[in-house]
Amino acid sequence: MEFKTFVFYVLSAIMVFAGLRVITARNPVHAALFLVLAFFTAGGIWLLLAAEFLAIVLVMVYVGAVMVLFLFVVMMLDINIDRLREGFWSYLPVGALIGALLVVEMALVLGGRYFGLEAMPEPPAALAGYSNTRELGRLLYTDYAYPFELASLLLLVAMVVAVTLTLRTRKGIRRVDPAVQVAVKRADCVELVSIPVEKE
């Protein structure tokens, strides 16, 4: 067995273990940390596939930004774990059936003629001066320009909808009009009171 294949199997085993711990860990903080481990090992697998740019983006964006946000949210919220686990055993048969179907589908797809070493041989060695990032950018802005723009529009719409949902009026919440705040003058907020001084 080659060293590259051995490293791939080791990283894959760590990633599968981390993925299982994400869904089985009782503590949400531990689950988020195992997800960080899964992202790191996925970045290592991308490096083995000579996709350095994708590996760095995975580590920087997901581990450096998204997972830090997850950890802040999980640690700041008071999550009632016992309430979340209510009814776990009643949903277990349905979840196990769906999981088994997913495993069968993945086995059928990966075991077919479209995957494997015969269908997808190892790519040839890169030429001198070849840049993975440049090639990815060329494909992204030429062959996949329209899907890329469509995905950016969908993300923009999702961001606007998220902001709109947070700004909707709800009962029992004190709201302040920013225009009124800006128009406030000093005389409206500060009152000078003359207090007589008592001499002894």
Does the structure show a pLDDT above 70 at 163? yes
| φ/ψ (deg, to 5) at 182 | -70, -35
Domain range list for the chain: 1-80, 132-166
Q: Is the pTM of this model over 0.85?
A: no
Continuous H helices in the chain: 3-24, 28-48, 52-57, 67-76, 81-84, 88-110, 132-141, 145-166, 178-182, 186-189
CATH fold for the domain made of 1-80: Four Helix Bundle (Hemerythrin (Met), subunit A) (1.20.120)
pLDDT band for 17, please (50, 70, 90 cuts). Answer: very high
pLDDT at 156: 94
For 81-101, what is each residue's pLDDT tens digit? Answer: 666 667 777 888 888 899 899
